[in-house]
Amino acid sequence: MTETPLQATAFSDDAAGRVVISVDAMGSDRGPAAVVAGCSHFARKHSNAFFLIHGPKAELEKLALSKKALKGRYEICDATGVVSMDDKPAQVLRLGKQTSMWSALESVRNKDATVCVSCGNTGALMLLSVVRLRKIPGVYRPAIAVLWPSRNPQGFNVMLDAGADIRADERDLLQYALMGASYARNGLNLDRPRVGLLNVGTEEFKGRAEMHAAHELISENAKAARFEFVGFVEGSDIPGDRCDVIVTDGFTGNIALKTGEGTASLIRDFLREAFNHTLLSRFAALLAYTSLKRLGKRIDPRQVNGGVFLGLNGTVVKSHGSADATGVAAALDLAYQLAQSGFNEKLAARISAATMLAAEASDETDADGELT
Interface residues toward a second copy, by CB under 8 A: 88-89, 122-123, 127, 149-151, 163, 166, 198, 200-205, 207-208, 234-240, 248, 250-252, 254-267, 269-271, 274-275, 277-278, 280-281, 283-285, 287-288, 290-292, 294-295, 298-299
- φ, ψ of residue 210 in degrees (nearest 5): -65, -30
Round to whole Å and give the CA distance between 71 and 51. 11
> Residue 348, Cβ neighbours under 10 Å: how many?
18
Q: How far is the CB of 321 from a second copy (least distance, A)?
A: 11
Least Cβ distance, residue 297 to a second copy (angstroms):
10
Q: Give yes or no for a contact between 329 and 317, defined as CB atoms under 8 angstroms apart.
A: no
Please say which residue, 16 or 280, places its beta carbon nearer to a second copy.
Answer: 280
Give 95 or 166: the residue with its C-beta nearer to a second copy: 166
Collapse the DSSP code of 171 into the 3-class scheme (helix H, G, I; strand E, B; otherwise coil) and give the result.
helix
Work out how close the CB of 105 gets to a second copy at its nearest, in angstroms, rounded to a whole number.
Answer: 18
- Give Cα separations from 309 to 47, 162, 344 (angstroms): 26, 10, 11
SS3 (DSSP) at 26: coil
Shortest Å distance, C-beta 258 to a second copy: 3
Name every residue whose Cβ is closer than 8 Å to that of residue 233 and which is 6 or more positions away in sequence: 196, 197, 198, 199, 240, 242, 243, 246
Question: Of the two residues 242 and 346, which places its CB atom closer to a second copy in the complex?
Answer: 242
Nearest to 26 by CA among 122, 115, 107, 101: 101
Shortest Å, Cβ 67 to a second copy: 32
Distance of CA 159 to the CA centre of its chain: 9
State how far the Cα of 208 lies from the Cα of 195, in Å rounded to an integer: 19
Nearer to a second copy, 14 or 165 (CB): 165
**Smallest gap from residue 123 Cβ to a second copy (A):** 5
Tell me how far, at minimum, the Cβ of 203 lies from a second copy, in Å: 6
Helix, strand, coil content of the chain in percent (nearest 5)? 50, 15, 35
CA–CA dist 116, 306 (Å, integer):
11
Strands 115-118 and 245-247: unpaired
**Distance between first and last Cα of the chain:** 26
Rounded-to-integer distance, Cα 97 and Cα 92, Å = 8
Q: How far is the CB of 208 from a second copy (least distance, A)?
A: 6
Q: Which is nearer to a second copy, 66 or 278 (CB)?
A: 278
The conformational region for residue 240 under phi > 0 = left, psi -120 to 50 = alpha, else beta, is beta
Shortest separation between residue 60's beta carbon and a second copy, angstroms = 27
Phi, psi of 188 (to 5 degrees): -120, 5
Min CB(95)–a second copy separation in Å: 16
Cβ closest to a second copy, residue 264 vs residue 357 = 264
Nearer to a second copy, 22 or 254 (CB): 254
User: Cβ closer to a second copy: 115 or 162?
Assistant: 162
Q: Return the number of the residue (151 or 223) whose C-beta is nearest a second copy.
A: 151
Q: Which is nearer to a second copy, 162 or 335 (CB)?
A: 162
